[in-house]
């Protein structure tokens, strides 16, 4: 296998042009720490790690521009020095995959990383305001820019976020930043089941108290709903008080309510949720997206025929499910989960599974034919030779 | 009159007018088709009123299926289609051509589902922006994007233009609050993109549909995020003796970690015009005025305003006036919201919409002032300071020969300046026809080619709003190939 690490955007473009001319497929990697999607089996690998460095950071304008191969750690450190952050809490999947590479900011964008703060500020696509990328034809293209309000031309910025390197190779990304909250508190509701947790989280999320995280860990102290509030001190303690009252009204008898204020402990709790740490290093890990009110029903249905661990985030709108299975059991777990989610208007993507599974199911929940057809046609326009991460998001012939 | 070129109407289409109208009547029902010249006149323009052209016909369908049938008919007949929300576009996004059929969504104005527990509302796209917020107000919710035209503008248009508003510093713009759409493509195919969940399993098609200016399909339904209303909100007024100082104050507020929901900036000409018009109590002896609004409980508001006052004091404001009552808050906002009306009373005006990096504000305002002298036209600035979105209002006299052309040239220069400063041509109004020919200032041919290829996927015939967004020369071969338009 040949690995290429072009040092400039122009060199990258030249490389892609030559691959395109020879119809030579390539795998595109940032740090290789988020191997999500169908496996790509090719002989050539392009890494973006040599395109590195923060090119512009204006704290007063809440804007940062960085080359795509910049380590996420470097971006985070630069922002921390000014008490700012990437609002969407990009996950660290090293624990899930046992990878040792350095996560890049381009990889964060290409994989559409989105953490628990999604319920308040959205995901990577919402913070991303500009991209530069090299298309499958080796053209250098820019879209968006460094300003947070921009409707000039089509918004390819959103399209590139979460495109897993199938539309182009990102070379530079720009973000809208947010101030890092001064303090955080987490209201914990112990001793409740999934349905009780969704009710508590819904009460919190439909209140005016600006919740920045709402998760449920069934393994924590008999089942614990976690509600995070961030901001200035007085405001945080005021809202934590109000939320405790609100949740207590909903759960008068069984639940115990406690407020966690230890900063380190709070960071650990939310990092574990962000990174789906409950899933450890083994098992088939699925990410189900559905309406929060449908989450308890989905869990009940699946638990009748499968044993798995789970974690809820985004108020129940995201259910992580992990099962250590083999052979046909893995497939039936995936297929049953997809069927249960689809009939509730949701979908299930595979985040981690044994390699052989991907030969039989798509990593990303297949969408209705017209949507898959549009997606395939867009890939064809951005990458006519079909050389960029071929099959990563949908295999050829996936469209019926 | 006009400086902005539009395609020559296709004589072949004009000659088939009665055949086309008959097909539209079959598709949508005769009662939903307008073809009488006296009536199509009402659709000859949007809020960019300097450009007018009645369409061949107007269809106001009553269902998604009817929209589908109409598009299918137009596709078969090779007739261009101009989608229309409420016609409030300031960029000419809904401007027809004589050979086009306008499809308006105004009769699709129902709430389909409000789901408070899951925090979304499913609506038909002809609902006005404000009516969506009103529909969920009783349950304590609101829809966040709030363009100035929110009383009139339709959700369909908001999605087409990715509209913003004064509060996007905290809540984002339309694309950040849109969860899904029902889209009818030019060939009549109906697809659902996204839905109540807001995260799709594959490519983010919703992201590119939002802001595509009606060129990819007609949105007939939308799933929108709704948010619980904050407990309260309160503005503070800060007056400074120089634009630079106000700009520095904005940057310091942001750096201190305070995130106001709105930070509005007005320069001296804007302050005076608004004050004379609305009597909002603005100080007229300052050079720059900031309106900073924060949200929360009374205690939270105090906490944030305390920090803002502390920061502002370091910049020696000439005026620092906190609102102490809802009445005072209304008055403070009344002046800002009256900006367009105030200008309209003084003269004809054109409202520009560039965005600049906020750090470039003083420099951009200084150069704009120089240009104003050069062109002999006055300009006033209102500005969403938190996000860099600038709205220069250029005053001119429509009755004076050559004044409008001069005004448009001045406007183009301002937008070029925005791009040069690291910003963009349009922050929230869209390209439409107004900024179409300036796209080359911001984009390379490759940048535009890939965008046009996205349209090729959704609308291979290039019949949907074809003469917008991309410079005429650049989209020419695609349009001609498909419509037989005269070259």
Q: What is the pLDDT along chain A (400 residues), one digit of tens a residue?
A: 899 999 999 999 999 999 999 999 999 999 989 899 999 999 999 999 999 999 999 998 899 999 999 999 999 999 999 999 999 999 999 999 998 889 999 999 999 999 999 999 999 999 999 999 999 999 999 999 999 999 999 999 999 999 999 999 999 999 999 999 999 999 999 999 999 999 999 999 999 999 999 999 999 999 999 999 999 999 999 999 999 999 988 775 667 999 999 999 999 999 999 999 999 999 999 999 999 999 999 999 999 999 999 999 999 999 999 999 988 999 999 999 999 999 999 999 999 999 999 999 999 999 999 999 999 999 999 999 999 999 999 986 543 3
| Res. B487: pLDDT tops 50 | no
CA distances, B51 to each of A51, A153, B46, B437 (Å): 47, 21, 8, 15
Grade residue B198 by pLDDT with cuts at 50, 70 and 90: confident
**ipTM exceeds 0.90:** yes
Is domain A2-177 given the CATH code 3.30.465.10 in the classification? yes
Q: How far apart are the first and last CA of chain B?
A: 21
Q: Do B203 and A82 touch (CB under 8 A)?
A: no
> What count of other Cβ atoms lies within 10 Å of the Cβ of residue B253?
25
Q: How far apart are CA B30 and CA A65, in angstroms?
A: 54
Nearest Cα residue in chain B from A198: B117
Counting beta carbons within 10 angstroms of the beta carbon of residue A373, is it exposed (0 to 12), middle (13 to 18) or buried (19 or more)?
Answer: middle
| Res. B173: pLDDT tops 80 | yes
Class of domain A183-274: alpha beta
Strands B319-322 and B389-396: unpaired
CA dihedral for A85, A86, A90, A94, sign (positive or negative): negative
Model pTM?
A: 0.96
Phi-psi category of residue A130: left, alpha or beta, with phi > 0 → left and psi -120 to 50 → alpha? beta
φ and ψ at B192, to 5 degrees?
Answer: -100, 125
The two three-digit tokens of residue B32, written as one number: 């939903």
Average pLDDT over residues B126-135: 97
Q: Do A153 and B254 touch (CB under 8 A)?
A: no
DSSP code at position B336? H
| Res. B210: pLDDT tops 80 | yes
| Res. B253: pLDDT tops 80 | yes
DSSP code at position A319? E
Place of tokens 């395939």: A376
Place of tokens 């300003």: A147
Q: Do A208 and B229 touch (CB under 8 A)?
A: yes
Identify the three-state secondary structure at position A380. Answer: helix
Residues of A in contact with B114 (CB under 8 A): none
Grade residue B486 by pLDDT with cuts at 50, 70 and 90: very low
Of A126, A143, A149, the CB nearest to B428: A149
Tell me: the pLDDT tens digits for B140-156? 999 999 998 899 999 99
State which fold the B347-437 domain adopts. Alpha-Beta Plaits (3.30.70)
The two three-digit tokens of residue B69, written as one number: 């049938």
φ and ψ at A37, to 5 degrees?
Answer: 110, 175
Is domain B111-228 given the CATH code 3.30.465.10 in the classification? yes
Q: How far apart are CA B15 and CA B19, in angstroms?
A: 9
Average pLDDT over residues B57-73: 98
CA dihedral for A265, A270, A273, A275, sign (positive or negative): negative
State which fold the A277-359 domain adopts. Alpha-Beta Plaits (3.30.70)
Q: Do A158 and B175 touch (CB under 8 A)?
A: yes
Q: How far apart are CA B312 and CA B308, in angstroms?
A: 6
Identical fold, A2-177 and A183-274: no
Q: How far apart are CA B386 and CA B406, in angstroms?
A: 31
**What local confidence, expressed as pLDDT, does residue A289 receive?**
97
- What distance in Å separates residue A316's CA from the closest CA in chain B? 10
Q: How far apart are CA B213 and CA B390, in angstroms?
A: 21
Q: Do B189 and A60 touch (CB under 8 A)?
A: no
Of chain B, the percentage scoring pLDDT greater than 70 comes to 98
Sequence length of chain A is 400
**What local confidence, expressed as pLDDT, does residue B386 receive?**
85
**What local confidence, expressed as pLDDT, does residue B385 receive?**
87
| Res. B2: pLDDT tops 70 | no
Residue range B233-339, CATH number: 3.30.70.3450
| CB interface of B with A, residues 372-391, below 8 Å | 384, 387-389
φ and ψ at A230, to 5 degrees?
Answer: -135, 155
Residues of A in contact with B444 (CB under 8 A): 141-142
Of B141, B254, B303, the CB nearest to A234: B303
- What distance in Å separates residue B205's CA from the closest CA in chain A? 6
Q: How far apart are CA A243 and CA A185, in angstroms?
A: 11
Average pLDDT over residues B37-58: 95
- What distance in Å separates residue B372's CA from the closest CA in chain A? 25
| CB interface of B with A, residues 216-245, below 8 Å | 228-231
Q: Which of A63, A154, A288 to mutate to test the interface with B (most CBs of B within 10 A)?
A: A154
Residues of B in contact with A232 (CB under 8 A): 300, 303-304, 307
Nearest to B134 by CA among B159, B157, B109: B109
Q: Do A147 and B193 touch (CB under 8 A)?
A: no
DSSP code at position A356? G
Identical fold, B111-228 and B347-437: no
Q: Do A289 and B197 touch (CB under 8 A)?
A: yes
**What local confidence, expressed as pLDDT, does residue B358 receive?**
86
Q: How far apart are CA B272 and CA B268, in angstroms?
A: 6
Residues of B in contact with A125 (CB under 8 A): 204, 207
| Res. B186: pLDDT tops 80 | yes
Q: Which residues partner with A216 through β-bridges?
A: A225, A312
Strands B101-104 and B81-84: parallel
Residue B113 in contact with partner chain A when CB distance is under 8 A: no
Q: Do B454 and A156 touch (CB under 8 A)?
A: yes
| Residue boundaries of the structural domains of chain A | 2-177, 183-274, 277-359
| Residue boundaries of the structural domains of chain B | 111-228, 233-339, 347-437
Mean pLDDT, chain B, whole residue set: 93
Residues of A in contact with B428 (CB under 8 A): 149, 151
How many Cα atoms within 13 Å fall on the side-chain side of residue B241? 4
Q: How far apart are CA B174 and CA B150, in angstroms?
A: 12
Q: Do B357 and A147 touch (CB under 8 A)?
A: yes
């Amino acid at each position: 296998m040949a690995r290429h690490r072009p040092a400039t955007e122009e060199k990258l473009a030249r490389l892609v042009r030559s691959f395109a001319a020879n119809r030579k497929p390539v795998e595109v990697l940032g740090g290789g720490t988020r191997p999500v999607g169908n496996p790509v089996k090719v002989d050539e690998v392009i890494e973006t790690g040599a395109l590195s460095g923060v090119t512009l950071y204006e704290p007063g304008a809440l804007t940062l521009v960085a080359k795509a191969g910049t380590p996420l750690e470097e971006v985070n450190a630069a922002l921390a020095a000014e008490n700012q952050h990437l609002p969407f809490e990009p996950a660290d999947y090293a624990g899930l995959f046992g990878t040792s590479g350095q996560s890049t900011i381009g990889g964060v964008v290409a994989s559409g990383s989105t953490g628990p703060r999604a319920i308040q500020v959205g995901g990577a696509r919402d913070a991303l305001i500009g991209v530069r990328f090299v298309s499958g034809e080796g053209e250098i293209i820019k879209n968006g820019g460094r300003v947070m309000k921009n409707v000039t031309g089509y918004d390819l910025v959103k399209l590139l976020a979460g495109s897993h390197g199938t539309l182009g190779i990102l070379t530079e990304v720009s973000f809208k930043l947010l101030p890092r909250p001064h303090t955080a508190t987490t209201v914990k509701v112990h001793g409740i089941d999934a349905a009780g947790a969704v009710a508590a989280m819904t009460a919190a999320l439909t209140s005016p108290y600006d919740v920045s995280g709402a998760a449920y860990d069934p393994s924590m102290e008999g089942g614990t709903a976690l509600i995070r509030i961030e901001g200035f001190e007085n405001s945080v303690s005021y809202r934590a008080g109000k939320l405790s009252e609100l949740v207590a009204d909903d759960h008068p008898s069984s639940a115990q309510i406690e407020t966690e204020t230890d900063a380190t402990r709070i960071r650990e709790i939310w990092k574990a949720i962000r990174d789906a740490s409950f899933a450890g290093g083994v098992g088939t890990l699925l990410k189900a997206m559905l309406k929060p009110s449908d989450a308890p029903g989905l869990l009940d249905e699946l638990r009748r025929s499968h044993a798995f661990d789970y974690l809820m985030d985004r108020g129940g709108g995201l259910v992580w499910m992990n099962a250590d299975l083999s052979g046909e059991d893995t497939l039936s777990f995936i297929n049953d989960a997809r069927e249960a989610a689809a009939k509730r208007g949701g979908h299930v993507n595979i985040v981690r599974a044994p390699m052989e599974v991907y030969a039989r199911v798509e990593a990303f929940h297949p969408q209705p034919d017209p949507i898959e057809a549009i997606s395939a046609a867009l890939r064809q326009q951005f990458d006519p030779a079909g050389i960029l991460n071929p099959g990563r998001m949908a295999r050829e012939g996936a469209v019926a | 009159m006009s400086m902005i070129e539009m395609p020559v109407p296709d004589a072949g289409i004009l000659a088939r007018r009665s055949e086309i109208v008959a097909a539209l009547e079959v598709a949508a029902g005769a009662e939903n088709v307008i073809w009488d010249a006296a009536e199509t006149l009402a659709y000859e323009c949007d809020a960019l009123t300097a450009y007018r052209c009645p369409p061949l016909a107007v269809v106001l369908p009553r269902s998604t299926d009817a929209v589908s049938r109409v598009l299918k008919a137009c596709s078969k007949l090779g007739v261009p289609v101009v989608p229309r929300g409420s016609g409030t576009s300031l960029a000419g996004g809904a401007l027809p051509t004589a050979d086009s059929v306008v499809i308006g969504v105004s009769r699709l104005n129902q709430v389909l589902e409000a789901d408070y527990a899951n925090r979304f509302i499913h609506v038909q796209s002809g609902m006005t922006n404000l009516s969506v917020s009103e529909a969920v107000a009783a349950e304590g919710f609101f829809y966040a994007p709030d363009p100035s035209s929110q009383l009139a503008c339709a959700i369909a248009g908001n999605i087409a233009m990715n509209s913003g508003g004064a509060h996007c510093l905290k809540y984002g713009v339309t694309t950040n609050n849109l969860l899904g759409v029902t889209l009818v493509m030019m060939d009549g195919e109906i697809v659902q993109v996204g839905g109540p969940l807001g995260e799709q399993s594959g490519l983010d098609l919703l992201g590119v549909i939002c802001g595509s200016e009606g060129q990819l399909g007609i949105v007939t339904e939308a799933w929108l995020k709704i948010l619980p209303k904050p407990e309260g909100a309160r503005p503070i007024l800060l007056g400074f003796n120089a634009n630079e100082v106000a700009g520095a104050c904005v940057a310091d507020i942001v750096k201190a970690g305070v995130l106001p929901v709105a930070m509005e900036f007005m320069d001296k000409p804007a302050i005076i015009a608004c004050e004379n018009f609305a009597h909002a109590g603005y100080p007229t002896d300052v050079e720059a005025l900031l309106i900073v609004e924060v949200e929360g409980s009374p205690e939270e508001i105090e906490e944030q305003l305390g920090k803002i006052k502390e920061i502002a004091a370091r910049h020696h404001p000439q005026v620092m006036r906190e609102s102490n009552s809802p009445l005072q808050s209304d008055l403070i906002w009344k002046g800002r919201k009256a900006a367009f009306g105030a200008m309209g009373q003084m003269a004809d005006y054109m409202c520009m919409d560039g965005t600049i990096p906020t750090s470039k504000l003083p420099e951009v305002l200084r150069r704009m002032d120089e240009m104003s002298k050069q062109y002999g036209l006055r300009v006033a600035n209102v500005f969403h300071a938190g996000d860099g979105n600038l709205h220069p209002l250029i005053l001119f006299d429509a009755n004076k020969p050559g004044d409008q052309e001069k005004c448009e040239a001045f406007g183009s220069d301002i937008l070029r300046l925005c791009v040069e400063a690291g910003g963009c041509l349009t922050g929230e109004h869209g390209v439409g026809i107004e900024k179409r020919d300036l796209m080359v200032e911001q984009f390379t041919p490759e940048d535009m080619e890939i965008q046009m290829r996205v349209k090729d996927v959704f609308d291979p015939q290039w019949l949907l709003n074809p003469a917008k967004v991309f410079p005429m020369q650049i989209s020419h071969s695609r349009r001609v190939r498909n419509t037989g338009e005269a070259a």
